[in-house]
Amino acid sequence: MENATIKLTSYTKGGGCGCKIPPAQLSELLTGITKESSGKLLVGNSSADDAAVYDLDNDLCLISTTDFFTPIVDDPYDFGRIAAANAISDVYAMGGKPLLALSIIAWPTQLPISIASQVISGANEICTQAGISIVGGHSIENPEPIFGLSVNGTVSKTQIKKNNTAHENDLIFMTKAIGTGILSAALKRNLLESSDEKSMVESMCQLNKIGEALGKIAEVTAMTDITGFGLLGHLTEMTDKKRLSATIYNSKIPLLSGVKELAEQWIYPDNTMRNWKMYGEEVEGIEGISLLTLCDPQTNGGLLFSIHPSYRETLLNFFELQQVPLYEIGFFQTPQEFTLMIQ
């Protein structure tokens, strides 16, 4: 079997963060976990945050996370790069600095091991960009190819960014265009233009390194990254169980190249509708293809964060200097009839 003829996405039903267990089932799954009791555990399961955070004393905290999935692209090197960037993102989303990674790989016996080696090589490139090493891991045989990382990092206790600590009137920003779920669904159906595939891969391989810097900014009040539950799902989590509501301007939400045209053809991954089923009752103003784009499961999507309104101009200047994209998409407010309002 020649490597060039192998399509990794043909070996799995889903791909990337689009193969996550649906939110409702995930909540049921977690009921078997013992209630957190350690006073040193600062972030655990209770807020559905991006990573666990443990107090090591002297203002230093450990961030621990893991993320893995089935192929979202056919090229094994790109698959490794995407999976690594996605896993490391959880550390950045907590405002932290990654330290090291362990690899997690499950591989079908019918696929050459040389392809798995390319996956690892791609992951190693991204880890090098992040300034960390893959120092070990675990591998098993499995009918579907799976790859990801377990990542540890550190953060100052005073600089932890949680996903549920936004305030009324805070402004909402995101750092990447969305639509990787729609684009990957088109790729599996051989409907994706090569130029759009290139922009999709570039987006998914881009590290959310700016999160470490945002962790040091007190005016950044809450932060997460946009992954399998889509922009709508992760923004709902930021409202902290309806403690707040949010207004979002649909016209300001950036879409990757080709996403609008594909959504108009109703091309989308299965988890889009699962996300809508979970969060849709709390949303007002969904029209046309916005249901597909706002619920689209992202793989290594951008950071989603809130800031105090007084910090807006400073933030814009900071991102311009860093040459990192930034999109202002809405604001938080006191609880309304609906948790999210789309305008």
Instruction: Tell me if 166 is assigned to some domain.
Output: no
Q: Tell me which residue range forms the domain holding 29.
A: 3-159
Say what the pLDDT of residue 7 is: 83
Q: Both 192 and 330 in a single domain?
A: yes
Q: Both 262 and 285 in a single domain?
A: yes
Give the confidence band of 56 by pLDDT, cuts at 50, 70, 90. very high
Question: Do β-strands 220-225 and 303-307 pair in parallel, antiparallel, or remain unpaired?
Answer: antiparallel
Residue pointed to by tokens 């979970």? 278
Helices (H), 143-270: 180-188, 194-205, 210-214, 230-238, 259-264
Catalogue the active-site residues.
17
Q: Both 184 and 145 in a single domain?
A: no
Q: Both 110 and 208 in a single domain?
A: no
CB 248, CB 256: distance < 8 Å: no
Residue 93: what are its φ and ψ, rounded to 5°?
A: -65, -20
Q: Both 155 and 244 in a single domain?
A: no
Say what the pLDDT of residue 212 is: 98
> Which tokens belong to 107?
């591989």
> Which tokens belong to 234?
């992760």
> Which tokens belong to 242?
């309806």
Q: Both 154 and 175 in a single domain?
A: no
Instruction: Tell me if 238 is assigned to some domain.
Output: yes
Return the percent helix, strand and coil in the chain, to nearest 5: 40, 25, 35
Instruction: Tell me if 24 is assigned to some domain.
Output: yes
Q: Both 237 and 329 in a single domain?
A: yes
Q: Both 333 and 239 in a single domain?
A: yes
Q: Both 259 and 317 in a single domain?
A: yes
Q: Both 144 and 278 in a single domain?
A: no
CATH number, domain with residue 266: 3.90.650.10
Instruction: Tell me if 165 is assigned to some domain.
Output: no
State the number of CA atoms in the 13 A half-sphere of 307 facing the CB: 21
Instruction: Tell me if 131 is assigned to some domain.
Output: yes
Q: Residues 57-67: what's their mean pLDDT?
A: 95
- pLDDT, the chain, mean: 92
Instruction: Tell me if 21 is assigned to some domain.
Output: yes
Q: Residues 61-89: what's their mean pLDDT?
A: 96
CATH number, domain with residue 144: 3.30.1330.10
pTM over 0.85: yes
Q: Both 243 and 142 in a single domain?
A: no
pLDDT at 237 over 50: yes
Question: Do β-strands 283-284 and 245-248 pair in parallel, antiparallel, or remain unpaired?
Answer: unpaired
Task: Give tens-digit pLDDT for 148-198.
Answer: 999 999 999 999 999 999 999 999 999 999 999 999 999 989 999 999 999
Q: Which of 159, 184, 204 is the last residue in one of the domains? A: 159
Q: Determine how many CB atoms are found less than 10 A away from the CB of residue 157.
A: 14
The distance of Cα 131 from the centroid of its chain, to the nearest Å, equals 20
Q: Both 195 and 146 in a single domain?
A: no
